[in-house]
Amino acid sequence: MATKVVYFTVDGKPEQAEFRSDDTADELKDTFRAAAEANSDDILKLYNTKGNLINISPKLPENTPDTRYKLEVVALHCNGFPYYMMQIDNVLATQFGVVIKDLESRIEMLEKKVFVENGEIPPVVGELKHKVEHLREKLEGVDHLSWLGLFKDISCGTSLKPFWDKTQSIKKTEEHNRMVFEKFKKISQVQVTDEVREYLRKPTFDNWQWDDPEMIILLRQMYIDLDLVSKFNIEMNVLHQWLYEIYKNYNQVPFHNFKHCFMVAQMMYGLTWLIDLRSVLDDVDIFILLTSAICHDLDHPGYNNAYQINAKTELALRYNDISPLENHHCFVAFEILQKSHCNILRNVSKEDYKRIREGMIRCILATDMAKHNEILNNFKSVMKNFDFKSQEHKSLLLMILLKVADISNECRPMDVAEPWLECLLQEFFNQSDMEKLEGLPVAPFMDRDKVTKSSSQIGFIKFALLPLFEALRELFPVIEKDIIQPVRAALEYYTDMQKALEEEKKKGREAAKQRMDKDVIKSKIQT
Ligand code: LUO
Ligand code: ZN
């Protein structure tokens, strides 16, 4: 019986295989599997010298050592990670089309096979088709996926390069950062007008009118106008470098980006003046509040703790599922301060540094909403006889103030707050789409098929925002008019929106019922 020899590479290693022309395709595949040390359910892909995928069968034409085929193994599953995600690497544009086609043709074959045997297509095949279609849409439009894997080590012993690619993530590009820094340096010589400095202290401040370099200047202004630059001997160029490092370490995600950092800092700044916090807190506490607000979401990936934990990302692993994101934000904040040229703490005393570090860690970790009720209850318990001399009472107050600033969008004018809700829901929907694709649990308030703006806000305002703000009002009644009233107005706005939505649905149901009744009557008349 004639035998054939084919030459190929696997993982860059030269191999050759000999087989008989009456061998079956599977036997030939097993030979290739053995050469690639792949297991039985891995997918094999053979490319000819032109880079085209070719079928593995005994009809495979013989070749020579210098026209080798290239064999690739696609691990079907690895750490529960579906193989199509393994395929996505920096040659995404060339490969993923093949992977999706691979998937679609396999489903086609499966559909035919099942139809022939059972005379029908079971729903599961239809669902699989839908999922692959959805995946194609997601991947074709995706620009956040590669970030997803930045904290997910998926190499797990396969020959495939990890699919994420650090240049292709939600990180800002070098030229984008340089352009922002150039404009920032240019305008940093300009004095901010008194009118803008006044406006900057108001909860009505509208961030949508300002670009990133301008917001960096306004953050600098906050340190100047709170006398923190002088009190902590911060050299101006160090402050500039620190603000620029902060800017670079916020990512291009829909909600938890540099604008959110600015908004939380601006709300903290506004509360400082509205309540006159400097009359009850010392400079170190004021510094902790503003600096924690600026640092509190550093390097946020746009996927929350539940995702990090369920998807077993590197962050969840590193922080043992304990507030992985907030721990990471805090780590990045102090990693930046390790660099002398942007260390705004480099001239503070050892004891001030210790207080500042302790205060920032406590405040940033307190922004984990999973700790919301625990922190609020602790604060309420000390509220009864709050002692501004007690360090424990004051540190609870600082945590509450940062939490208030962090989730306070709804106390802003509707045309400032509503776009923020859209950004938030966009980020939540990106996450829940990905969770559906990966078969991970999906939180109802993130599911695009379940959430409406009004439904998400009514519950949130009633059960998270108002209880928090009303607790703070016990200590500082001055926040009633400028902070709490606008939130009540927002609650009314979303309640009315919800009622209108329900009316619509009711009308829709009634119209459908009338149509049905008419059809029934018509059919009765015809029979
Ligand atoms: C609360 C929160 C957590 C993570 C990320 C963003 C937010 N924020 C908001 N959530 N920040 C501001 C807002 C806001 O105005 N609305 C909402 N609304 C919905 C989506 C919601 O219910 N969020 C929510 C509620 C509780 C929770 O953990 C207990 C996490 C998110
Ligand atoms: Zn935040």
71-99 pLDDT, tens digit each: 887 654 433 333 333 333 334 444 555 56
Nearest residue (by CA) to ligand 1, atom 24, is: 460
**Partners of 7 in beta bridges:** 16
Query: What confidence score (pLDDT) does residue 168 get?
Result: 42
- For residues 423 and 168, the model is more confident at 423
Out of 407, 428, 454, pick the residue that ends a domain: 407
- 449 located within any domain: no
Residue by residue, DSSP assigns 454-472 as: HHHHHHHIIIIIHHHHHHH
- 380 located within any domain: yes
245 CB less than 6 Å from ligand 1?
A: no
Out of 21, 46, 75, pick the residue that ends a domain: 75
Residues 54 and 112 in one domain: no
Q: What is the mean pLDDT of residues 339-344?
A: 96
- 273 located within any domain: yes
Share of the chain above pLDDT 90, in %: 64
Structural domain of 302: 174-407
Collapsed DSSP state (helix, strand, coil) of residue 118: helix
Say whether pLDDT at 102 is over 80. Answer: no
Comparing CA positions, the residue from 173, 180, 152 lying closest to residue 164 is 152
- Determine which helix (DSSP H) or strand (DSSP E) holds 35, and give its type and residue range: helix 25-36
> Ligand 1 centre and the CA of 302: distance in Å?
13
Distance CA 215, CA 200 (A): 10
- 219 located within any domain: yes
CB count within 10 Å of CB 323 equals 21
> Ligand 1 centre and the CA of 358: distance in Å?
26
* Averaged pLDDT of the chain: 87
Collapsed DSSP state (helix, strand, coil) of residue 17: strand
429 CB less than 6 Å from ligand 1?
A: no
319 CB less than 6 Å from ligand 1?
A: no
- 442 located within any domain: no
38 CB less than 6 Å from ligand 1?
A: no
Pairing of strands 69-74, 43-47: antiparallel
- 492 located within any domain: no
Share of the chain above pLDDT 70, in %: 86
Query: What confidence score (pLDDT) does residue 431 get?
Result: 95
- Catalytically active residues are 256
323 CB less than 6 Å from ligand 1?
A: no
- The string of pLDDT tens digits covering residues 15-69 is 998 888 788 888 888 888 888 877 776 778 888 888 888 888 888 888 999 899 9
> Ligand 1 centre and the CA of 208: distance in Å?
21
The token pair at 485 is 């009233």
Residues 45 and 179 in one domain: no
Q: What is the mean pLDDT of residues 485-504?
A: 95
325 CB less than 6 Å from ligand 1?
A: no
Distance CA 138, CA 174 (A): 26
Residues 112 and 66 in one domain: no
Comparing CA positions, the residue from 111, 138, 109, 105 lying closest to residue 127 is 111
How far does CA 483 lie from the centroid of its chain? 28
Atom of ligand 1 at shortest distance to CA of 410? Answer: 15
241 CB less than 6 Å from ligand 1?
A: no
Residues 118 and 63 in one domain: no
Under 8 Å between Cβ of 403 and 468: yes
Out of 407, 429, 463, pick the residue that ends a domain: 407
**Partners of 53 in beta bridges:** 47
Query: What confidence score (pLDDT) does residue 333 get?
Result: 98
Per-residue confidence band for 101, with pLDDT thresholds at 50, 70 and 90: low
Nearest residue (by CA) to ligand 1, atom 12, is: 407
Pairing of strands 13-20, 77-78: unpaired
Residues 57 and 99 in one domain: no
407 CB less than 6 Å from ligand 1?
A: yes
Say whether pLDDT at 499 is over 70. Answer: yes
Integer angstrom CA distances of residue 434 from 76, 163, 239? 19, 16, 38
Say whether pLDDT at 154 is over 60. Answer: no
Which amino acid is located at 93 in the chain?
A
**Partners of 4 in beta bridges:** 19
Residues 12 and 67 in one domain: yes
- 160 located within any domain: no
Give the ligand with the smallest distance to the CA of 425. 1
Nearest residue (by CA) to ligand 1, atom 28, is: 369
Residues 305 and 377 in one domain: yes
- CATH of residue 240's domain is 1.10.1300.10
> Ligand 2 centre and the CA of 179: distance in Å?
26
Residues 56 and 117 in one domain: no
Query: What confidence score (pLDDT) does residue 99 get?
Result: 62
- CATH of residue 45's domain is 3.10.20.90
Number of domains in the chain: 3
Say whether pLDDT at 525 is over 80. Answer: yes
Residues 61 and 86 in one domain: no
Tell me the H-state helices in 142-211. Answer: 145-150, 174-188, 194-199
Nearest residue (by CA) to ligand 1, atom 10, is: 460
Give the ligand with the smallest distance to the CA of 260. 2
Tell me the H-state helices in 313-385. Answer: 314-318, 324-337, 350-365, 372-383
Give the ligand with the smallest distance to the CA of 256. 2
Residues 297 and 211 in one domain: yes
Give the ligand with the smallest distance to the CA of 454. 1
Residues 314 and 287 in one domain: yes
Nearest residue (by CA) to ligand 1, atom 20, is: 456
Query: What confidence score (pLDDT) does residue 356 get?
Result: 98
Per-residue confidence band for 100, with pLDDT thresholds at 50, 70 and 90: low
- Pocket of ligand 1, candidates 300, 403, 407, 448: which has the most ligand atoms within 8 Å of its Cβ, to mutate? 407
Query: What confidence score (pLDDT) does residue 466 get?
Result: 98
Residues 222 and 121 in one domain: no
Distance CA 498, CA 94 (A): 46
- The string of pLDDT tens digits covering residues 400-426 is 999 999 999 999 999 999 999 999 999
Query: What confidence score (pLDDT) does residue 1 get?
Result: 67
372 CB less than 6 Å from ligand 1?
A: yes
Which amino acid is located at 147 in the chain?
W
- 132 located within any domain: yes
Nearest residue (by CA) to ligand 1, atom 8, is: 407
